[in-house]
A and B are shown apart, each in its own frame.
Chain A
């Protein structure tokens, strides 16, 4: 434990509509040594410029407007296509199955365990570095 230096470089982009969750995850992932950025909606991701392209997404499933799954479908097969770790506060098994089928790296349930979260982020970054996801 401690502020470690990740073995795989890359920016982590956290997308969650809840400000507290965004802030706390930003703090945790940064403390873990990752480069992290947060957005408050799927729409914000789509509108985000190409600079600083993230290596993976930590994406809340249920968000107002466009959900995480909707975003996944929207960017599937494009240059924006990234490894995604889904986080959810609902525990909906159907949604989990859909997410896995759509190619999500992992679906984690809130409240998030640090170890599980960081392991999923590592895996996503590794996939991103080899261009596979």
Chain B
């Protein structure tokens, strides 16, 4: 993973639980294993280096251990472990040099100077911010050559030469020069090879095609073959060496070196150089090859010169070619990505939300392949603490992750990855999840995740997952993942919106279809834009696209009510559409042959629609109206029954009232006969007698008419009523009842009482009921005062007011309303329906009736009824 610095565009999550890894494993055993490997490598390098000397000189032509230490420190991310790896090399150093017989202090001093070269090299690289060291650009190669290959050996060779001069007495500058050149060349050839092999060999090998492997094998074979020819041939035979022939063959060595530089990069170049160097030195030490005729010093000088002249340009060439290849690769990669992104951006545009699923799946696979990772996942946030794996792709050979809500039984590695996702999501929530610049990786460094944000709302994340953690996540890749996330987020947001809209429309349609009434939605011009099934059924297909009109007459038949209804409904709907009415409702009767029914029509403005409109509905209320009519009939029959019952109660009183006029008629008739028997009958008096008889007959007729009125059973008949006459007549009717009960009945009729419009029978029934109740109550008066007062008048609002006051026990406050309930009675006789019927009659006349407790004792029942006063003529 390295310690790549976050760019300004990327906001990395910063929380201590997630750690960034070094290139080497973090486990406790990894440093130990690494130290052990360093020790062995130092030993091997020392062995090789000692064999690459031209005795009796102590300086080797190439001294690998220093380069190995330098490569180790350059690969290790943290300087805190440098001491471990340097210390690991000491046993090997001692093991190698102690048998030489050199003094121990000298050996230790040499070790220290060796270490100083590695420390200087790695320290300068880190200090100048060029860690981790790379060789993939000319600039980086130049930096490496200047610092690691030149500066470090340059400085450390001073100490080295000083030590050798001190202990061995060898001349300083030659020692310094030899050590400098030797270490320089070793650093140049060995460090790139070590670093690239350790860091990149496995990923490169995994990515390499078979053609590449074959080419590398051929190159290696050619290198060895030519090396053997040039450096290992004897003086005889077809490959006999000699100044002329060897020079020509020497030129051939350039071929594999150039091939390695151009095709395989600095690491291969340095390995090729190393291989040739080893073969050259082996040939020289066995008296073969190019330098066999030269002395040791001449050979060393020639060797180092040639190597230096050849190695630097070749390494630079290799770096340049690598840079070129990377640039080409980058451009190719960018073009390919732009093409991918362009296609991805347009892939979802023509699709409806229900068609996107398959497209998402195929694009998730293509994106995963494009990024060359092991898994690519799209995770959607569900609620506050759940994550759904909406789409997932896995490379061939990689175990797939099943879609669905995050499960606790996923395989360990996946579970860890997904738990880290949840953890990171929780952290992001705390830090602001809607930041599209966020990016994070899991604690093992194997996943890279960015949010899916569209319209300032984060709905999920996308993750790239790899099974190994030995390469960085480059900024370019993070940028590309963000671009992909933007497109996917937009498509997901659109899918979500369309799904929500479709569900909403489906719900509305279901609601409309489920309604038992006929419903139509009109636009502001009255055009039908939507209807439910019931409307289509009753309107016989007059659905959307047509104009609104009341239900067709052939459905409902032609009746005068339906005709009027059409006019009224059309006008009402028009007024609702133009806003002059807040709502409109109308009930009407329709008939078709022997069938009839009632319809309730309503029209209300369409709320929420910016352009107006209305919702019209028709409901069949036939059952309700029939029930109302039946209830009304039942009420009328009950009222009639009560009236008949009342007449029965009033029999004695009625008989007495009839007796009075009959008595007067009889007495007048008998008196008339006596007057006629006189010698000179008084005609004037006789006339008066006859007139009195007629008046009494009328009086009796009136009583009988009232009786007949009470016993009438028929439809309600509204007429203008003289309230005072009606109340006075009722008072006379019940007057005898008052006498029988020994109750004083007082009648106070206000001449200003206005007339009212109502059914005489019903209003009379109410007053009779109230008076009889009052007489009964007053007869039971505990105070000894037995009186009832009935009065009429006009209330301040101009309504007719009738009051009946008694001196009875009164009505308790808690029963003031209950007395009007059906079947409620405080008496031992009666069914308790009188006041209930009275209230129903009063309510039907648009009035009100209530009971009060009188402060002086007794009850007061009051009626308010709408008056009917003729309007003044204009």
Contacts and interface: CB of A to CB of B under 8 A. Distances in A.
A110 B659 CA distance: 6
Given A90-B656, A90-B740, A27 B678 contact: no
Interface in A6-55: 18, 20-21, 23-25, 27-28, 30-32
B667 A24 contact: yes
Contacts of B662: 110-111
Interface residues of A, number: 27
A28 B668 contact: yes
A65 interface: yes
Interface string B658-696: 011111111110110111011000000100010010011
Contacts of B664: 18, 20-21, 23-24
Given A20-B692, A62-B739, A90-B740, A31 B674 contact: yes
A2 B678 contact: yes
Nearest to B661: A20
Contacts of A1: 673-674, 677
Contacts of B696: 20, 24
B140 interface: no
A28 B667 contact: yes
A3 B662 CA distance: 23
Interface string A93-113: 000000000000000001111
A89 B656 contact: yes
A27 B689 contact: yes
A25 B740 CA distance: 23
B34 interface: no
Given A2-B677, A63-B739, A65-B744, A18 B660 contact: yes
Given A24-B667, A25-B667, A89 B660 contact: yes
Scoring A24, A30, A63 by chain B CB atoms within 10 A of each residue's CB, the highest score goes to A24
Interface in B415-462: none
A110 B660 contact: yes
Contacts of A113: 666
A112 B666 contact: yes
A111 B744 contact: no
B659 A111 contact: yes
A71 B82 CA distance: 141
Contact of B675 (A23, A31, A65): A31
Contact of B667 (A21, A62, A89): A21
Contacts of A63: 739
Nearest to A25: B667
Contacts of B656: 62, 89-90
A21 B660 contact: yes
B670 A114 contact: yes
A64 B677 contact: no
Contact of B655 (A2, A67, A89): A89
Contact of A3 (B667, B675, B740, B745): B675
A21 B692 CA distance: 11
A3 B674 contact: yes
Interface string A59-95: 0001111010000000000000000000001110000
B749 to A, nearest CB: 18
Given A28-B667, A90-B652, A64 B744 contact: yes
A31 B655 contact: no
Nearest to B662: A111
A3 B667 CA distance: 14
B699 interface: yes
Q: How large is the interface on B (under 10, 10 to 19, 20 to 34, 35 or more residues)?
A: 20 to 34
A27 B677 contact: no
Given A3-B678, A65-B744, A90-B656, A21 B739 contact: no
A114 B557 CA distance: 72
A27 B667 contact: yes
A40 to B, nearest CB: 13
A91 B699 CA distance: 21
B739 A64 contact: yes
B677 A24 contact: no
B663 A31 contact: no
A103 B846 CA distance: 57
Interface in A111-133: 111-114
Nearest to A62: B739
Contact of B674 (A18, A32, A89): A32
Nearest to B659: A89
A25 B662 CA distance: 12
A27 B676 CA distance: 13
Interface string B635-658: 000000000000000001001100
Nearest to A32: B674
A24 B692 contact: yes
B740 A27 contact: no
A28 B678 contact: no
A63 B740 CA distance: 9
Most B-side CB within 10 Å, residue of A27, A62, A90, A91: A27
B740 A62 contact: yes
B735 to A, nearest CB: 8
Contacts of A111: 659, 662-663, 665-667
Contacts of A31: 670-671, 674-675
A30 B748 CA distance: 36
A20 B740 CA distance: 20
Contacts of A32: 674
Contacts of A90: 652, 655-656, 736, 740
A24 B744 contact: no
A23 B692 contact: yes
A107 to B, nearest CB: 14
Contacts of A2: 674, 677-678
A20 B660 contact: yes
Interface centre among A65, A110, A112 (most CB of B within 10 A): A110
Contacts of B744: 64-65
Contacts of B695: 20
Nearest to B667: A24
Nearest to B678: A3
B739 A28 contact: no
A3 B686 CA distance: 14
Contacts of B678: 2-3
A24 B668 contact: yes
B632 to A, nearest CB: 39
Contacts of B692: 20, 23-24
Interface in B720-742: 736, 738-740, 742
B678 to A, nearest CB: 5
A14 to B, nearest CB: 10
A91 B666 CA distance: 18
B674 A28 contact: yes
Contacts of B652: 90
Contacts of A91: 655
Nearest to A90: B656
A21 B742 CA distance: 21
B669 to A, nearest CB: 9
Contacts of A27: 667-668, 671, 685, 689
A90 B742 CA distance: 13
A112 B661 CA distance: 11
A1 B678 CA distance: 10
A91 B652 CA distance: 9
Q: Which 9 A-B pairs have the closest CB atoms?
A: A2-B677, A24-B667, A89-B659, A31-B674, A20-B664, A110-B663, A28-B671, A111-B666, A114-B670
Given A24-B663, A27-B671, A30-B671, 15 more contacts: A1-B674, A3-B674, A18-B660, A20-B664, A24-B665, A24-B668, A25-B667, A31-B670, A31-B671, A62-B740, A89-B660, A90-B740, A111-B662, A112-B667, A113-B666
26 contacts: A3-B674, A18-B664, A20-B664, A20-B692, A20-B695, A21-B664, A24-B666, A24-B668, A24-B692, A27-B668, A27-B689, A28-B667, A28-B670, A62-B656, A62-B736, A62-B739, A65-B744, A89-B656, A89-B660, A90-B652, A91-B655, A110-B659, A110-B662, A111-B659, A111-B665, A114-B667
Interface of B: 652, 655-656, 659-668, 670-671, 673-675, 677-678, 685, 689, 692, 695-696, 699, 736, 738-740, 742, 744-745
